[in-house]
Amino acid sequence: MSTPETSRFVRVSVELVVEIEDEETVIAAARSRIAEHAEGGELDPAERAHAEGAVTEDTAEALAYLVDPFDLVGEVPGVELQQASWSSERIDYDPDSPDWEFGEDDGDGDDEDDEAVGGAGHSG
C-alpha cells in the first residue's frame, strides 16, 4: 500500500559470513575484475595500480571488490538500486559460540571497505 506519507525507498540490510577456502583464487578473480574495468576505461592507470595492490595484500579487500549489491536486486521486477554500501573485514568466527551473533563487533576488524554504486568496485 502506497500513500503520500509512505516512502518508496526501502533499506535492505544483509550480513554474511563467508569462509575463504582459496585466497589465491579470490585474489586472482579480483585482479581479473580490475583488469576488465581498466580495459573498459573505468579505471585510470593510477587507480588500477592502487586497486591491484590492495586486493593482492588483503583477501578481505579482494572479496569486497568482487561483491556487487546490484546482483542481489538487479533482476527484481519493479526495483531500481539507488545506492549501496558494503564492507568486508576479517573476523574471528565460531558458529558454536553462544557469544557470537550477527552485527556484533568482535574488535578484530582492522580493514573495512565501504562501496558505493556508480562504477566498478572501488572506483565509485
Dump pLDDT digits (tens) for 43-92.
999 999 999 999 999 999 999 999 988 888 989 999 999 999 888 888 88
What's the pLDDT band for 3 if we cut at 50, 70, 90?
low
pLDDT digits (tens, 9 = 90+) for 75-87: 999 999 999 988 8
- DSSP string computed for 96-114: T-TT--TT---S-------
Lowest mean pLDDT, pick from 15-29, 57-71, 77-91, 110-124: 110-124
pTM (2 d.p.): 0.67
Q: Compute the distance between CA of residue 61 and CA of residue 55 in angstroms, rounded to an integer.
A: 5
Structural domain boundaries in the chain: 23-123
**Has residue 36 got a pLDDT over 50?**
yes
Q: Is the pLDDT of residue 25 over 60?
A: yes
CA distances (Å), 27 to each of 22, 31, 80, 122, in order? 9, 6, 30, 15
The Cα–Cα gap between 12 and 40 comes to: 30
In the block, cell 575463504 appears at: 20
Confidence of residue 108 (pLDDT cuts 50, 70, 90): very low
Within 8 A by CB and 6+ apart from 32, the residues are none
